[in-house]
Chain A
């Protein structure tokens, strides 16, 4: 009896408890139709528009802001830092190490390193790369660097020309790059020899001469960078270059970021490639200019390849 007196009045709490629980449930299910509508706007829901065209039925497209932040912020800053850092490291390295000289006297005998067609392919692609890099960097950094120099009108004229050159030559570069990748694919499988080459710093540091095939580990690494980042660069470039296919903004923004990132990587890498091929190594440029390299150079830098040629008897002796 006493228990009932205590408990009965408390049943009221139970019923109100159930009621509030139910209410809460209803509140979760009911949403404000106006708020729903604005949520749809923010979620970039497609509507209907009498104005026909690409994405005209979208009210707010938010990813453009992300693209803007990434392009103007991290990518522009890190791009200049990475490229500047590469140049500084190469300059310091040259001052410290100097040129990698030939360890033996030139023999006067030569072997063929690159055929005429290979050299044409290389130089055409290389010149296009340089033009595309300069015009591309002008569009990214020109506003900060070149407008103070040339003024708005002057830079605009140059930028219009840059944009046009970049857009026309881009696909030509792509043909060059793809033919190089196909042509030299077979020479670029990475193997144990390359691993040893990397462990010895490619002979760049110290006086040892690690073994290498026709292409050494560094050259193969450059090849694979081009075969991956370079291909991504070309494909993203095509997306940007042909707006006539009505691609949507999100794809364009993504492509632009990929294009920027891969371009920065390749430009930095290219500086290294140019340094080693010219100022960094004695006798290296001859191979790509004349096609012939001295046997002393071949034996020092690409011993395995040279031995093979020697076995085949493909050494040219001008005195014979």
Chain B
């Protein structure tokens, strides 16, 4: 069984933000919600580096651990999904997440946040695959079509990799060997400790 992971190769990311745009377009997420974002450190300085970040689908997911209504579940592929019908919009997953993945439609007074939204690894939600409800609440379910997340699939420099963790790690290892650098597996120590 595959264990889905994301990996962003910081040596290749050129901060084009196409992954962000592709994600927004594919899932038609509401205004103000960004399931994925690109962060640049040392912006404009020599050695600046960029990384595309979204929900990393952690093994021991903090969001899952703190959710008071237990709306998260991990699929057989290791993808962390949540049920928007159960979510009460309390914001706890957002407090706990190291990657800033959980997004809310509003940030109103008296804690009015609306239902949480986050990256689904293009795997939809608990609704029936390809149903209208699923598309409406969670976006497209590419995994059920046998495709991988669009952000990684259309990455022009193939910096962002998504797929089975072993395959992704092999790809990355090959690159590192060829360019004689040290592997910097971004976020893996935080997301996939065990």
Q: What is the interface of chain A, defined by CB distance below 8 A to chain B? A: 32-34, 37-38, 40-41, 45, 47-51, 53, 55-62, 64-65, 67-68, 71-72, 139-140, 142-143, 147, 152-153, 155-156, 159-160, 163-164, 167-168, 240-244, 246, 249, 252-253, 256
> Are A48 and B43 within 8 A (Cβ)?
yes
> Are A72 and B65 within 8 A (Cβ)?
yes
> Are B39 and A49 within 8 A (Cβ)?
yes
Tally B residues with Cβ within 8 Å of A.
53
Interface residues of B in 81-98 (CB under 8 A from A): 83, 85-91, 94-98
> Are B100 and A143 within 8 A (Cβ)?
no
In the complex, A41→B113 CA distance in Å? 28
Residues of chain B contacted by A50 (CB below 8 angstroms):
15, 17, 20, 37-38
Counting residue pairs across A and B whose Cβ atoms lie within 8 Å, the total is 146
Main secondary structure of the interface of B (DSSP, over half): loop
> Are A47 and B109 within 8 A (Cβ)?
no
> Are B88 and A153 within 8 A (Cβ)?
no
Residues of chain B contacted by A48 (CB below 8 angstroms):
39-41, 43
Residues of chain B contacted by A240 (CB below 8 angstroms):
111
Main secondary structure of the interface of A (DSSP, over half): helix
In the complex, A254→B47 CA distance in Å? 35
Top 8 closest pairs, chain A to chain B, by CB: A51-B37, A48-B43, A47-B41, A160-B88, A167-B110, A64-B96, A156-B86, A167-B111
Q: What is the interface of chain B, defined by CB distance below 8 A to chain A? A: 10, 15, 17, 20, 32, 34, 37-43, 47, 49, 51, 53, 62, 65-71, 83, 85-91, 94-100, 107-113, 181-182, 184, 186-187, 190
Distance in Å from the Cβ of A28 to the closest Cβ of chain B? Answer: 19
In the complex, A10→B19 CA distance in Å? 65
